[in-house]
Structure 1
Amino acid sequence: MFFISHVCSALSDGRRLLRRLAQLYTGLMLYGLSSALLLRGGLGLEPWGVLHQGLAEQSGLSVGTTSAATGVLVLLFWIPIRQRPGLGTVSNVLIVGVALDGALSLLPVVHEPAGRIALLLGGILLNGTAIGLYITAGFGPGPRDGLMTGLQKLTGQSTRRVRTAIEVLVVVSGFLLGGSAGIGTFFYALSVGPLAQYFLHRFSS
């Protein structure tokens, strides 16, 4: 009976691990797709997306490549604030940029206002879904999320204040580099928090 119980427990653990891995990589790919939808919508990007696009404009690299490069750079800032990366952290750097560039190569350019609004709304909804999926998988935060939580612990400031300061900085920097900040950026800032909270609860239950 002990042997059977042990085998059943191992199988259950294996299934749980596979489910978490599937959840992680689905979430990361959807995050890249959501960023591509916002880019094609052309009404304004998420804060870090503004920076990635601005860097792409200046460097001639793809937006996905600048997203990955920025992720690596942000990870270097984890060292002095003593954050430890996990599988989800490294996967975030590798997967999101590839998914973003892949989606951009498939999505058509949309000029009609109704279509652009639909891309904006779909991108924001998908972004909140993706955040809920990859965070509840439990393999560690993405580079940008880890920077936020690390600085919050280091400074003792509230998470909201630290996140706001970081996102204002990256939006302004990205905009000055040529990134697209607009009404979509503002709407994203208002809506992604409640959406992420909803999906975090949904996927953790």
Structure 2
Amino acid sequence: MSTALSWTGRLSSLYIGLFLYGASMAVVLRAGLGNIPWDVLHEGVAEHVHLSIGVVSIVLGAVALLAWIPLRQMPGLGTVSNVIVVGLAFDAVAPHLPAAPGWRLAVPMMLGGIVLNAFATVLYIGARLGPGPRDGLMTGLVARTGWSVRLIRTVLEVTVVVIGVALGGTFGIGTVLYAVGVGPLIQWFARVLHVTAAVSGDDTAPDRVTDPV
């Protein structure tokens, strides 16, 4: 049974969602079958600057947030938290996972990581405390250009994947499956957790989500 989120519930949903998002990034990356699109870039940059992937994620998240200024986007608590918590969660979880395991473990790790990523996305978006820096960059570009969300997202993700691969990031079947599968999974979890309006960007509907723990 779902109930309107209290402030405490929204904070719990936000931070649990962000931690699980960072954990899901680590699971997919450690599977070794292809990273989440932005993580292709994070890994590629990390190869050249001798920083952890989590730290690179934080730095590039901050850069994306700076890009909000000319796009006239306003960050929220969730935006700033996203920049910091996701990268820290990645670095906390990644060392405890096997790196590039055999396919019998790699495949369920990859699939489980993608599902976990979608679930985590719905939790933190359902909190309605501000989009992530990369999501805000996307919506800001949509508002400024008039192009569709699908087109802007595709252009952004293709761009970061191409740059990431050029820098040494891992592209593979996991990247492709994430690109085609995470959207439907997010929609399904949004219906299950009763946050469809929040995920679709309709802020006129009441905040509703089940207990995330």
TM-score, normalising length from structure 2? 0.88
What is the DSSP-based 3-state SS (H/G/I as helix, E as strand, rest coil) of the residue aligned with 1:74?
helix
Question: Which one of the candidate residues 162, 166, 170 is aligned to 2:160?
Answer: 170
RMSD over equivalenced CA pairs, Å: 1.4
Query: What are the ranges of 5 or more consecutive residues in structure 2 without an aligned counterpart?
Result: 196-207, 209-213
The CA distance in 2 between the partners of 1:28 and 1:202, in whole Å, is: 19
The CA distance in 2 between the partners of 1:198 and 1:137, in whole Å, is: 17
User: What is the percent sequence identity of the aligned residues?
Assistant: 52
Aligned to 1:3: none
Question: Which one of the candidate residues 13, 16, 21 is aligned to 1:23?
Answer: 13
Aligned to 1:191: 181
TM-score, normalising length from structure 1? 0.91
Q: Which runs of 4+ in 1 moved over 4 A?
A: none
Q: Summarize deviations over 1:119-159 as a string: whole Å, max 9, x none.
A: 10011000000110000100010000000001001100110
Pick the structure with greater CA Rg: 1
Question: Which one of the candidate residues 102, 108, 111 is aligned to 2:98?
Answer: 108
Query: What are the ranges of 5 or more consecutive residues in structure 1 without an aligned counterpart?
Result: 1-11
The CA distance in 2 between the partners of 1:129 and 1:36, in whole Å, is: 15
Contact 2:125 2:131 in 1 (8 A): yes
The CA distance in 1 between the partners of 2:98 and 2:31, in whole Å, is: 10
As a proportion of its length, which structure holds more helix?
Answer: 1
**CA apart distance, 1:110:** 4.6
The CA distance in 2 between the partners of 1:111 and 1:162, in whole Å, is: 34
Q: Are positions 1:148 and 2:143 aligned together?
A: no
Contact 2:29 2:36 in 1 (8 A): no
Q: Summarize deviations over 1:68-95 as a string: whole Å, max 9, x none.
A: 0000000110000000000000000110
The CA distance in 2 between the partners of 1:29 and 1:21, in whole Å, is: 12
